[in-house]
A and B are shown apart, each in its own frame.
Chain A
Amino acid sequence: DQQVKQNSPSLSVQEGRISILNCDYTNSMFDYFLWYKKYPAEGPTFLISISSIKDKNEDGRFTVFLNKSAKHLSLHIVPSQPGDSAVYFCAASALGNQFYFGTGTSLTVIP
């Protein structure tokens, strides 16, 4: 039962443009969401988080948007850089319980 879904396995974006990665979830009890970035042969690295009391959180080039009614969140990267090329995972949890991860989206930023 996949409670967190990333329906785009891959995404290619030109350097300097915006990258938008999407994530959908099914459990309305989820109240905390995170995005991780993963390079090959490394563990996932925490990128940005958002609590369900907010609809937007920004950290430098990274912004996460949460639409609770649609059970959808997205990660915007502006401007995209070649070093952003990695696999991005979204994750969600409810009330301090276990995190559920999506299957990941592989982002390629083309110089």
Chain B
Amino acid sequence: DAGVTQSPTHLIKTRGQQVTLRCSPKSGHDTVSWYQQALGQGPQFIFQYYEEEERQRGNFPDRFSGHQFPNYSSELNVNALLLGDSALYLCASSLLWGQGSTDTQYFGPGTRLTVL
């Protein structure tokens, strides 16, 4: 049973460019959440997708957008990249939070984004 997978592993972009990161959830999971982890910090919640809609959003500007496909996989898009967007981007899959599930998330290995 494949766990959460993410692509690419590493990415280097320049300021002002746009980037798309991809995530495939663990089998049986229908909810995907994205996190940004800066160096020395804990993961920060960006947003969550369920039934192809954004269900919750953290404190991130609308340069960060996403999409969920019918097969539950998801993309994270970041426009107009800033140097401060350099971080590890983590995808986590689960069942929808607060619906009687254990609310446990399973994380992928992450995509390391460097903005020059």
Contact = CB atoms under 8 A, between A and B. Distances in A.
Interface of A: 4, 6, 32, 34, 36, 41-46, 49, 89, 91, 93, 95-104
Contacts, number: 58
Contact of B42 (A89, A96, A98): A89
Contacts of B41: 103-104
Contacts of B103: 32, 49, 93, 96
A98 B43 contact: no
Majority-rule SS of B interface residues: loop
B97 to A, nearest CB: 4
B107 A98 contact: no
Contacts of B90: 43-44
B7 interface: no
B97 A101 contact: no
A104 to B, nearest CB: 6
* Chain A CB within 10 Å, residue with most, of B4, B40, B103, B109: B103
B37 to A, nearest CB: 8
Q: Which of A6, A43, A104 has the most CB of B within 10 A?
A: A43
B71 interface: no
Given A96-B99, A97-B56, A43 B40 contact: no
Contacts of A93: 97, 103
